[in-house]
Amino acid sequence: MIDVLSGLFVDHTLRTVALGSATLGIVSGALGAFAVLRRQALLGDAMSHAALPGVALAFLLTGSRAPLVLMLGAAIAGWLAAAAIVGVVRTSRVKVDSAMALTLSVFFGAGLVVLTFIQRQPAAGKAGLDKFLFGQAAAMLESDVITMVAVGAVGLFGLLALWKEFKLLSFDPDFAATLGMPTRRVDILLTSLLVIAIVVGLKTVGVVLMSAMVVAPGAAARQWTNRLGVMVTLSACFGAAAGVLGALLSTTAETSTGPTIVLVATGLVVVSLLFAPARGLVWVRMRAWRSRRMLALEAVIADLASLAAQHGSNATHPHDIGALNAVRGRAVVERALTELAADGLARQHDTGGWSLTPRGLAEADRLARSRRAPGVAR
């Protein structure tokens, strides 16, 4: 890994790869955040598969492998796929999931047909198109990176320029419409930006897995914040981290680039789901566990206090544990008693029975008071 890192500064190819992957991550992360918020994760999947015939046709028609030409073809095809999905849903009773799956597979199938035409051509220049399926970072050239940066910059600039509109559309489209915003046009624009996010990464990650790069950084970033600006920034950072790490890993381990980047991004999502503050599953579980424990403690104190009350004068008379565990189960009660004893609120007598200490009795009194609603007459 150290070799790779030092290589980053000297090795030209490695630097190109890292730069390109970072660009791809930033662009797809920032623009993908909106796809996650707008429930368009699967639309991204459909569009990235659908880009294949665009790439293939662009090559077949122009004979050029210039990244901008292929990206343009991919963008047009992806855009048409989105239009087809919306069109089918709007004009028929076919639901959006069917429309997406159908469009995805039909476009991809058409792409395969076009690819067979290309394969029949004389060998010159056709090499490299198959890399669009799974991507290959190592094949990235400086011209690729320059194009990616340029196209990505257009996408990010569009995002910033219409930030307010996109924000409103994503969270409250009805309100946006009542304000007189042309929601349909803004919607089309935002979806077009998603197309940009997808085509930027096609050569590195490939059509099959590009959707994950649109979804994963956004899904991870969502866990850390409730603010849109922070989320989009984080998402871009996660995307860049996954892109660079994945690309470098795949070059050193000689695995396919796309899958490696996707797995790194998925790792980021898992970490975020588990450990993000406030929303992270680990913290949620811990909070639940802690409050359950507190409830058990309070309940045992209350039980002991009511038993003590029945004994009138002798408040610290020991009681058998069997009198306590009827409802909660012995293990819970025993654990609670041990903790109470450690805090000096309860103690075990020589007979084996338990009672509250005077401090415990005071605590029980305080708890009972705080539990009663204020202002209620006794």
Partner 1 sequence: MTSAQIDVLLVAVVVAAACAIPGTFLVLRRMAMMSDAISHTVLLGIVLAFFVVADLGSPILIVGAALVGLLTVVLVEATSRTGLVREDTAIGLVFPALFSIAVILISSLAGDVHLDSDAVLLGEIAFAPFNRFAPFGVDLGPVAIWVMGAILLINLACTALFFKELKLATFDPALAAALGFSPALVHYGLMALVSITAVGAFDAVGSILVVALMVGPPAAAYLLTDHLPRMLGLSVLIGATSAAGGYWLARLLDANIAGAMATAVGIAFTLVLLLAPRRGLVAAARRRRRQRWTFARQMLLIHLATHEGTPTESDESHPDHMQRHMRWPADFSARVIQTATDRGLVVLEAEQLRLTPHGREAAKEAAVR
Rounded Cα distance between 163 and 181, Å, is: 13
Q: Where are the alpha helices (DSSP H) in the chain?
A: 2-10, 12-37, 41-62, 67-91, 96-120, 131-134, 142-161, 163-171, 173-178, 183-205, 210-222, 228-253, 257-275, 281-310, 330-342, 358-371
- Shortest distance in whole angstroms from residue 233 CB to partner 1: 19
Q: Smallest gap, in angstroms, from Cβ of residue 120 to partner 1?
A: 8
For partner 1, the binding residue among 57, 100, 193, 248 (CB under 8 A) is 100
Q: CA angle, 283 as apex, 282 and 286 as ends, to 5°?
A: 90
209 near partner 1, rule: CB under 8 A: yes
303: amino acid identity, one letter = D
Q: Nearer Cβ to partner 1, position 70 or 263? A: 263
- Binds partner 1 by CB under 8 A, chosen from 233, 266, 316, 357: 266
Cα(148)–Cα(154) distance, integer angstroms: 10
Closer residue to partner 1 (CB): 270 or 326: 270
Nearest Cα neighbor of 217 from 29, 90, 347, 48 is 29
Q: Rule CB under 8 A: is residue 97 a binding residue for partner 1?
A: yes
Select the span of 164-172, 181-189, 206-214, 289-297 touching partner 1 (CB under 8 A): 206-214
Q: Which of 16, 21, 23, 40 binds partner 1 (CB under 8 A)?
A: 40
Stretch that binds partner 1, among 6-14, 16-24, 44-52, 75-83 (CB under 8 A): 44-52
Three-class DSSP category at 348: strand
Residue 235 as a binder of partner 1 (CB under 8 A): the answer is: no
CB 307 within 8 A of CB 319: yes
Q: Of 39, 287, 366, 372, which lies in the binding site for partner 1, with binding defined by CB under 8 A?
A: 39
Q: Is 79 left (phi over 0), alpha (psi -120 to 50) or beta?
A: alpha
Query: Are 349 and 316 spatial neighbours (Cβ–Cβ below 8 Å)?
Result: no
- Please give the full DSSP string across 159-191, using - where no structure is assigned: HHHTHHHHHHHHH-HHHHHHTT--HHHHHHHHH
Name the minimum Å distance from CB 148 to partner 1.
21
126 binds partner 1 (CB under 8 A): no
Which of 2, 10, 120, 313 is close enough to bind partner 1 by CB under 8 A?
120
CB of 182 to partner 1, least distance (A): 25
Residue 269 binds partner 1, judged by CB under 8 A: yes
| Residues 6+ away with beta carbon under 8 Å from 191 | 40, 43, 79, 82
Tell whether residue 288 is a contact of partner 1 (CB under 8 A): no
Q: Which of 54, 71, 60 is CA-nearest to residue 20? A: 71
105 lies in the binding site for partner 1 (CB under 8 A):
yes
User: CA 202, 207, 211, 212: dihedral to nearest 10 degrees?
Assistant: -90
Residue among 25, 26, 31, 49 that touches partner 1 (CB under 8 A): 49
Min dist. Cβ of residue 194 to partner 1 (A): 13
Q: Where do contacts with partner 1 occur on this chain (CB under 8 A)?
A: 36, 39-42, 44-45, 49, 88, 91-95, 97-102, 104-113, 115-117, 120, 130, 133-134, 208-209, 211-212, 214-216, 218-219, 222-223, 255-256, 258-260, 262-263, 266, 269, 273, 279, 281
